[in-house]
């Protein structure tokens, strides 16, 4: 819903010209659409989902033609604010996840346990895997939660590098197709919706797979279409439905006036 409202809001702002998005007050009005749910999610707290919103918003603004000076200013603000947020704003559990990401062996039986087990599971799978339901880390209870956050570790251990790589390729194809739909959409609203969905898919893929391999901090972000969870699956299929609708409306002949 946030992506839909943001796409519609930006398209309304640009009715008088594409440059409207680069006016500070108009840009601020567009960002307020995202700010309210974003702050509520951070308050929960759920920093992983909040980051997905930020990535989707950034991609929509980029597609809308935001001026480079805003991008440069944003990068500078992030560089300056990240250390301050880490020192004075982030709660202890978030700091612990970052510290464990940097050095998981510092607390192998506590905060670093899951990431160590996850890397062991993926490494044990080698090329073809140990076989379905035959993984040591996954089936003996060392890896938790194996059906949601660490589902990619299960795939890596039991099905191996080939299947794991195939899953990454499929995600890349879906994201690439979403971006193609955004580029060829009939109107700006459809384009912004498609690129926003691509941003959500991109973040979930990179963050979930990255954290299971020890490349990114651990967050409670599911691997879309694979992690156990009804709300995640329903939302993902709604996004696919929106992409199909936008793609289908490029062919005007299939709709009756």
**pLDDT tens figures, 77-91:** 888 988 888 787 777
Residue 142 DSSP SS3: coil
Residue 39 DSSP SS3: helix
Domain total of the chain: 1
pLDDT band at 256 (very low <50, low <70, confident <90, very high): very low
Residue 253 pLDDT > 70, yes or no?
no
For the stretch 218-243, pLDDT in tens is 888 899 999 998 889 999 999 999 99
Residue 171 pLDDT > 90, yes or no?
yes
The domain in which residue 105 lies consists of 2-254
**Of the ranges 87-101, 149-163, 168-182, which one carries the lowest mean pLDDT score?**
87-101
Burial 190-206 (b: 16+ CB within 10 A, else e): bbbbbbbbbbbbbbbbb
For the stretch 90-108, pLDDT in tens is 777 777 777 777 887 777 7
Residue in 168, 227, 207 with CA at minimum distance from that of residue 50 = 207
Q: Which two tokens stand for residue 68?
A: 């480079």
């Amino acid at each position: 819903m946030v992506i839909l409202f943001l796409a519609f809001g930006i398209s309304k702002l640009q009715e008088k010209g594409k440059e409207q998005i680069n006016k500070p007050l108009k840009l601020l009005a567009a960002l307020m659409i995202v700010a309210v749910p974003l702050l509520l999610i951070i308050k929960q707290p759920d920093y992983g989902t909040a980051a997905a919103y930020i990535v989707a918003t950034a991609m929509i603004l980029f597609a809308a033609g935001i001026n480079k000076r805003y991008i440069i200013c944003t990068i500078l603000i992030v560089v300056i604010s990240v250390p301050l947020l880490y020192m004075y704003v982030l709660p202890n559990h978030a700091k612990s996840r970052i510290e464990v990401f940097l050095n998981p062996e510092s607390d192998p039986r506590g905060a670093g346990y899951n990431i160590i087990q996850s890397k062991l599971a993926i490494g044990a799978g080698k090329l073809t895997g140990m076989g379905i339901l035959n993984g040591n880390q996954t089936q003996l209870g060392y890896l938790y939660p194996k059906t949601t956050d660490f589902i990619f570790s299960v795939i890596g251990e039991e099905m191996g590098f080939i299947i794991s790589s195939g899953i990454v390729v499929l995600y890349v194809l879906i994201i690439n197709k979403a971006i193609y739909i955004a580029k060829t959409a009939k109107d700006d609203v459809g384009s912004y919706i498609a690129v926003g969905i691509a941003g959500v898919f991109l973040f979930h893929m990179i963050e979930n797979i990255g954290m299971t391999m020890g490349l990114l901090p651990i967050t409670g972000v599911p691997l879309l279409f694979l992690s156990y969870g009804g709300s995640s699956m329903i939302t993902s299929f709604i996004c696919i439905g929106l992409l199909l609708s936008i793609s289908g409306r490029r062919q005007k002949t299939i709709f009756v006036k």
